[in-house]
Amino acid sequence: MRKFAIVAVAAAALSALAVSQPAAADDKKDPEIKVPYVPTHEKVVTAMLKMAAVKEGDTVYDLGCGDGRIVITAVKEFKAKRGLGIDFNPDRLKDCEARMKEEKLTAAQIKQLTFKQGDVLKMTADDFKGVDVVTLYLLPDVNKRLKPILLEGLKPGARVVSHDFDMGEDWKEDKKEEIKTDRSYPHTVYLWTIKDKKK
């Protein structure tokens, strides 16, 4: 598989032609920008959650959740209290159900997880109240659009981690790490921590 970045550039160019349609975050219409599905390698999932210092009691959201692996791992291995995955594609939500079964989650862990269909670009700052960690494997354009929403909605100390794509030059990451896996290309994980808004 070629690096997601290459697919991403093509997708970004295509998305520029897409027609914007106003809709709620949880509606069933196609989103304005559809990021292609490339699951994050398990080793990178662990690196992302470690870098975000996910701990017992945290609430973790994955925007564009694919098969749900990031929030499932957050609940199962990192003891997060709650995981929410959002994806516009109903097939991905079926993948989430399948993965929860494969991972042999307990009934309690299943209760801690929510997967819902929706367009992440329709989310508002209010959607991020009480969220400790947001994970992203989207596209530069999408990250750029999400940035003001995340900055407004997330509380000080909340963390954002992104696989392979940064948030633009005006939001410099606090940490950046390269991860090697058995895939033919390296992965980069970025971390940002929300600062105290009064300062």
140 binds ligand SAM (CB under 6 A): no
54 binds ligand SAM (CB under 6 A): no
Number of residues that bind ligand SAM (CB under 6 A): 24
151 binds ligand SAM (CB under 6 A): no
b/e map 163-189, b = 16+ CB within 10 Å: bbbbbeeebebeeeeebeeeeeeebbb
| Pairing between β-strand 187-193 and β-strand 82-87 as defined by DSSP bridges | unpaired
The closest residue (CB) to ligand SAM is 64
Phi, psi of 13 (to 5 degrees): -65, -45
39 binds ligand SAM (CB under 6 A): yes
**Can you tell me which of 46, 50, 53, 89 binds ligand SAM, judged by CB under 6 A?**
89
Closest CA to 130 of 160, 156, 108: 156
Query: Which residues from 167-196 bind ligand SAM, rule CB under 6 A?
Result: none
Task: Please give the angle made by the CA atoms of 172, 87 and 179, to the nearest 5 degrees.
Answer: 45
CB-CB contact of 139 with 168 (8 Å): no
- Nearer to ligand SAM by Cβ, of 148 and 156: the residue is 148
- Nearer to ligand SAM by Cβ, of 26 and 152: the residue is 26
CB of 87 to ligand SAM, least distance (A): 4
Closest CA to 89 of 42, 29, 41: 29
CB of 198 to ligand SAM, least distance (A): 32
- Nearer to ligand SAM by Cβ, of 71 and 107: the residue is 71
- Beta pairing partners, 175: 191
149 binds ligand SAM (CB under 6 A): no
As a whole number of angstroms, the distance between CA 77 and CA 74 comes to 6
Query: Which positions lie near ligand SAM, rule CB under 6 A?
Result: 31, 33-35, 37-40, 62, 64-66, 69-70, 86-89, 92, 119-121, 137, 163
